[in-house]
Amino acid sequence: MSKLVTIYGGSGFVGRYIARRMAKEGWRVRVAVRRPNEAMHVKPYGVPGQVEPVFCNIRDDASVAAVMAGADAVVNCVGVLSETGKNTFSAVQAEGAGRIARIAAQNNVERLVQISAIGADAAGSSDYARTKGEGEAAVLAAYPDAMILRPSIIFGPEDQFFNRFASMTRLGPVLPIAAGSTRFQPVYVDDVAKAAVAGLTGEAKPGVFELGGPEVKSFSELMTQMLEVIHRRRLVASLPNFVARLMAFSFDLAQSASFGLFQNGLLTRDQLKNLQNDNVVSQDANGFADLGIEPITLGAVLPDYLWKFRPSGQYDELMKSARNLHGDV
């Protein structure tokens, strides 16, 4: 019988790419999610019955253990960008990660991969970075031979970064951002999946790997490149810190005052804290080179999925060409 991998958060942005690659490797894939009925898109990644979404509550020992039963390898992709209800940073990124590692060790699971983030630091100023760091510590305490992947900002067709800001360009002539000088090293989602698969299949050694693409650019530079791809002219305005703090406070207050009816998906105070630090691979860190992976550039991928934000969508290039025609054709 083929081997089994359990992917916690396997229907999400990163998890679905890992699921697809593991299915291609011939593994049976168990996709552990909170809402299996919303994860049916993963089933066609393999032959019938090879990829199955199952219910799991990462905050509950019994639930985590049930979906791990019989697994040869485990990967945890679960994370949150902002807190909602009981899904707090601590509950998901620290306690949840530690719970998965502890149960994996108890079940003698052969390999464990934890998806973390560059900047993870148990002493970090933001709750996001701090709980990512605490999660890493909990994983290594329970499962010392785990592979921990720390990607920079991840891009790809389903990302919440370029898609979000490209959508904002439709609202007016100015594109406001916070911390425009902060540097990022964007990494393609499928390259992160390749790294995870290398760990799950035993092709790569355990340890901590920081994953960044071949380009380092500031937030403002990334927005400028995005605007070039979507053929829109907008003023990229990096907000002064005090203005950004006031906006983040107002959005957080609106979410609290509405008892969660308004979800702050714009800018939280914690995200603003996180944006104060560069998000690039450390000089001496293990990375893609150690895994034998050559990361893909932004320019090779962005046009493939941001075309829908162009003024004329998929017909923008055609209309641009037509405007350049002279005379009758």
Q: Where are the domains of the chain?
A: 4-156+186-213+279-295
pLDDT tens digits, 235-248: 999 999 999 999 99
CATH topology of domain 4-156+186-213+279-295: Rossmann fold (3.40.50)
**239 near 176, Cβ under 8 Å?**
yes
Q: Which pLDDT value is given to residue 329?
A: 43
List the end-to-end C-alpha distance of the chain, in Å, as a whole number.
63
Q: How far is CA 112 from CA 138, 148, 211, in A?
A: 13, 9, 17
pLDDT tens digits, 145-196: 999 999 999 999 999 999 999 999 999 999 999 999 999 999 999 999 999 9
Which residues touch 146 (CB under 8 Å, ≥6 apart)?
A: 101, 112, 113, 114, 139, 140, 206
Nearest to 161 by CA among 173, 177, 174: 177
Above 70 in pLDDT, residue 328?
A: no
For helices 189-200 and 15-24, angle between their N-to-C axes, nearest 10 degrees = 50
pTM score, whole prediction? 0.94
